[in-house]
Structure 1
Amino acid sequence: MNKEKLLIIASFFSIYFIWGSTYLLNKMAVAEIPPLLLAAVRFGIAGILILLIAKLLKKDLVITKKQLLNSTIAGFLFLVYGNGVFVWALKYVDSGFAALLASTQPLFVLFLLRLIDGKRLQRKSIIGVCLGIVGMYLLVSQKSITTSDGMVLGIFMIFSCVLSWSYGSVFVSKADVPKNFFVSTGYQMTMASILLIFWSQIFKEDYTVLSQISPKVQFSVLALILFGSIVAFTSFNYLLKVVSPEKVSTSAYVNPVIALFLGWYFLNEELTTQSIVASCVLLTGVYFITSRKRIAKPKVTTKPQKI
C-alpha cells in the first residue's frame, strides 16, 4: 500500500471518527464553558496554529481584501453561526440526537442548489428528500422530546445551523478564497474567532470560568482544537482534492452513528426505539442523496468546499 492510499485511509478515519466524537466533546465542554466563548477559544487557537504551520511549510499567506471578506463570511456561516450556535443548542439537546439532525445537511444543500442554481432533482435525490423528511418527522415528533425544557428551541436552532452550514458550502464553492485549503481554513477560523469574541461580549458570557474548568473539560477543549479543528478539517479538505465529493460526503451518515454510540456509552443518553427507526430512515435518505449520479450536462464547475 503506497503512501497516498495510507493518507487517504487516515483522512477518512479522521472525518468519520474524530468528527463523530466532536458532538460528545462539545457536549462535555459546554457544561462548564459558555458556547460562544468555547467556539472562540477553539477556533482562535486552531486558526493561529494552522497559519503558523502553513508558514513553516512555506505556503503563501498573502490574502486579498476580497478573499479576506469571503473568508470572514465563510467563517461566520460555518463556524460562528453553524458551529457556535450549534454548540449552544447542545445545552438542550442530546449529542447523538443533535448529530442525527446535522446529518440532514445534504438535504439542505440539495434544496439550496435547486433554488440558487436551478439544478433539477434526480430520482435518487427525490427519494432521499422524501425519506429525509419522514425521518426528521419521526425524530422530532416524539412526546418525550417535545415536552423537555428547551428541546424544541434547541431543535429549531440546530436546523437553522444546518441551513447556515449548507449555504456556506454553496457560497464557498463559488467564492474567491485562498487557493491553498490549509491557508483558507486558517483564515476562516481566525476571522470566525474574532467574530465569536465580539458576540460573546455582546451576550455577556462569563470569561472567569476558564480558570475553573475541570480536567475533563480541559481535555475536551484540547481534543477539539488539535483533532476536531486541525486534523479533521485538514483531512476533509485534503480528501476533497483527491477523491470524489460523494465519497467525502459519506461522513454525513457515519458521524451520527459514532455520536449516538458515544453519547449513549459515556453520557447515558437515551436511545428510544422511535429514534433508532427514525435514524435508519433519515440516514437511508442521506445515502440516496449522496450516492446520486452526477449530471454530465449542463456543464457546471464547482470548487471543493473549504472550511
Structure 2
Amino acid sequence: MKKSVILIVLAFFSIYVIWGSTYLLNKIAVGEIAPMFLAAIRFTTAGVLIMLIAKLLGKKLSISRHQLTNSTIAGFLFLVYGNGVFVWALKYVDSGFAALLASTQPLFVLFLMRLIDGKRMQPRSIIGVALGILGMYLLVSQDTITASEDSILGIFMIFSCVLSWSYGSVFVSKANLPKNFFVSTGYQMLIAGILLFIVSGIIGEPWTGPELWTVETRWSMGLLIVFGSIVAFTSFNYLLKEVSTEKVATSAYVNPVIAMLLGWYFLEESLSKQSMIASAVLLTGVYFINSRKRVSKTKVTTKPQKV
C-alpha cells in the first residue's frame, strides 16, 4: 500500500472518530471554562506545538503576505467563528444533538459549490437536499426545543457555524496557503488563537487557570489540544488538498454517531424518538448528496474566486 494511501486512510479515521469525540470533550470543558477563552487556549497551545514540531522536522515556516491573509481568513472561518461560537452554543444544546445539526455540512457545501463554482445539482443531490431539509425540520421542530428560547438560539448559532465551516472548506480547497499542510495548520491555529483571546477579552469572559479546573476538564482540554486540534485538524487540512471537498465532508456520517454514543454513555444524554427518526432521515440525505455520480469534466459557468 502506498504511503499516500495510508496517510489518507489515517487522516479519514482522525476526522471521523476523533472529531466525533470532540463534541463530548467540549461539552465537558465548557461547563467550567468560558467558550471563547477555552477555544483560545486550545488553538494557541496547539498552534505553538505544531510549529515546534514542524521546525524539528525541518519544515520551512516562511509565509508570504498572500498566504498569511488566506491563513487568517481560514482560521477565522474554521476556528474563531466555526468552532468558538459552536462551543458557546453547547451551553444550550446536548453534544449529540449538536453533532446532528453539524451533520448538515455536506448540504451547505453543496449549495456553496453551486453558487461559487456553478456546479449543477444531480438528481441524487436533489433527493439528498430534500431529505436533509426534512431531517432538519424534524430535528428542530420538537416541542422540548421550540419551548426553550435558549435552545432555539443555540440551534441558530450552530447552523451559522456550519455555514462558516462549509465556506471555509471550499475556500481552503482553492486558497494559496503554505504547501506543507502541517505548517498551514499551525498558522491557522496561532492566528485564530490570538483572535479568540481578543474576542474573549472584549466580551469580558472570565479567565481561569488550570489549577481551578477539575480533573475531567483538564483531561478534556489536553485531549482537545493533542488529538482534536493537532492530529484531526492537520488531517483535515491534508485531506482538503488530497481529495475532493465533498469526500472530506463525509465525516458528517460518522461524527454524529460517535458523539451521540459518547454523550449517552458519559453524560447520560437522551434522544427522543423524533430525534432518532430525524437523524436517520438527515444522514440518509447526506448519503445521497455524497454518493452521487461524478459529473463529466466540463468547464463551470462561473470562474472559481481568486483567493
* TM-score of the aligned structures, taking structure 2 as reference length: 0.93
Cα displacement string for residues 146-174 of structure 1 (whole angstroms, at most 9, x for unaligned residues) = 12351000000000001111111122222
Q: Which residue of 1 aligns with 2:46?
A: 46
**CA distance in 1 between partners of 2:5 and 2:166 (Å):** 29
Q: Which residue of 2 aligns with 1:84?
A: 84
Cα distance, 1:75–1:292 mapped onto 2, change above 3 Å: same
Q: Which residue of 1 aligns with 2:237?
A: 237
**CA distance in 1 between partners of 2:182 and 2:210 (Å):** 29
**CA distance in 1 between partners of 2:119 and 2:15 (Å):** 28
Q: Which residue of 2 aligns with 1:111?
A: 111
Q: Which residue of 2 aligns with 1:190?
A: 190
Report the secondary structure of 2:38's partner residue.
helix
Residue 137 (structure 1) shift:
0.1
Identity %: 72
Report the secondary structure of 1:208's partner residue.
coil
Cα distance, 1:170–1:223 mapped onto 2, change above 3 Å: same
Cα distance, 1:117–1:10 mapped onto 2, change above 3 Å: closer
Q: Which residue of 1 aligns with 2:286?
A: 286
Residue pair 2:80, 2:192 contacting (<8 A) in 1 also: yes
User: Is 1:63 the counterpart of 2:69 in the alignment?
Assistant: no
Cα distance, 1:157–1:241 mapped onto 2, change above 3 Å: closer
Q: Which residue of 2 aligns with 1:206?
A: 206
Residue pair 2:103, 2:283 contacting (<8 A) in 1 also: yes
Report the secondary structure of 1:150's partner residue.
helix
Residue pair 1:246, 1:291 contacting (<8 A) in 2 also: no
Q: Which residue of 1 aligns with 2:277?
A: 277
Report the secondary structure of 2:186's partner residue.
helix
Cα displacement string for residues 199-249 of structure 1 (whole angstroms, at most 9, x for unaligned residues) = 000011111354311010000000000000011122233444555555433
User: Is 1:14 the counterpart of 2:14 in the alignment?
Assistant: yes
Q: Which residue of 2 aligns with 1:305?
A: none
Q: Which residue of 2 aligns with 1:160?
A: 160
**CA distance in 2 between partners of 1:104 and 1:79 (Å):** 18
Q: Which residue of 2 aligns with 1:254?
A: 254
**CA distance in 1 between partners of 2:247 and 2:118 (Å):** 24
Map 1:220-235 → 2, pairs under 5 A: 220-235=220-235
Cα distance, 1:172–1:12 mapped onto 2, change above 3 Å: closer
Report the secondary structure of 2:221's partner residue.
helix
For structure 2, which runs of at least 5 residues remain unmatched after alignment? Answer: none
Give structure 1 regions of 4+ aligned residues with deviation exceeding 6 angstroms. none
Residue 6 (structure 1) shift:
4.9
Cα distance, 1:68–1:129 mapped onto 2, change above 3 Å: same
* TM-score of the aligned structures, taking structure 1 as reference length: 0.93
Report the secondary structure of 1:17's partner residue.
helix
**CA distance in 2 between partners of 1:209 and 1:49 (Å):** 19
**CA distance in 1 between partners of 2:111 and 2:177 (Å):** 24
**CA distance in 1 between partners of 2:69 and 2:11 (Å):** 29
For structure 1, which runs of at least 5 residues remain unmatched after alignment? Answer: 303-307
Let me know the Cα RMSD of the aligned residues: 1.9
Residue pair 2:90, 2:98 contacting (<8 A) in 1 also: yes
Report the secondary structure of 1:53's partner residue.
helix
Counterpart of 1:233 in structure 2: which amino acid?
F
**CA distance in 2 between partners of 1:107 and 1:246 (Å):** 10
